[in-house]
Chains A and B, each alone.
Chain A
């Protein structure tokens, strides 16, 4: 069976062809970063999550989470906000518009590999 090349994409369903054209986001090829983005993208628009809640949701260590969040914040995929309650400091993380778009493109590319639903 011949695999569809770029010149034959028009023969595929439009949604599937779009997915095949979608590029992977090189930052999100790291599975931990992709999972962090998945958790933040699932929140309602403007919603943010505490560091400890992200760590519990993903089941990863604080050190691992902290280093990947720093990378995502540096490229502008994640926004941070610090709040104080008395002397207690809480850092909140929220996905940015750029982060949401990158995640959606990456997921579209993954769907392109899996193929159209049978």
Chain B
């Protein structure tokens, strides 16, 4: 049996409709804010992880380094070649500074834990950048990025345990695909209503 439809003049359903519309607008504005940082850049870094880590684990020198450098270049281009964002965030400059700090600190931290096998060093750096992403996600209340980056840190540790798997292949594909999917979702424009 059909339910009686509320009259358009019903103030309660009118108010409920307006609140639902405001929620949808809030989500679209939130997407507009997040897309420049976690849209195309995460697509680039997802490709970098998914291609670069398996290359480091399975190609011989110098090709492993060449492919790794190209994969990193894809991530950097996707991060810095985007169009001007439609939303400005007063904290963006400080966050960028924090990222540069993490990157600049990486060689020093590598020196602290050396000597390690190259594949362990690669996983160590991946986990370090995963922690940096997770901190960024907490600062910007980004739950999806927190789940992906936190998962990446855990995965970096887990792949070192079992015998008979390729740690860099599993870590690279696992983290890379997760970043790629999140980036594609964020980069996809949301249809505006009304």
Contacts and interface: CB of A to CB of B under 8 A. Distances in A.
Interface of A: 31, 34-35, 38-44, 46-50, 52-53, 56-60, 85, 90, 92, 107, 110-111, 113-115
A47 B25 contact: no
B87 A47 contact: yes
A49 B86 contact: yes
Contacts, number: 85
B132 to A, nearest CB: 19
Contacts of B193: 59
14 contacts: A38-B29, A39-B25, A43-B29, A43-B33, A44-B91, A46-B90, A53-B87, A56-B192, A57-B28, A58-B25, A59-B194, A60-B194, A90-B84, A110-B19
Identify whether the interface residues of A are mostly helix, strand, loop, or mixed. helix
Given A48-B87, A52-B86, A59-B193, A39 B29 contact: yes
Interface residues of B, number: 28
Contacts of A34: 18, 22
Contacts of A41: 26
A17 B28 CA distance: 31
Contacts of B140: 44
B22 to A, nearest CB: 4
B29 A57 contact: yes
Contacts of B29: 38-40, 42-43, 49, 57
Nearest to B33: A43
Contacts of A50: 86-87
B16 interface: yes
A114 B12 contact: yes
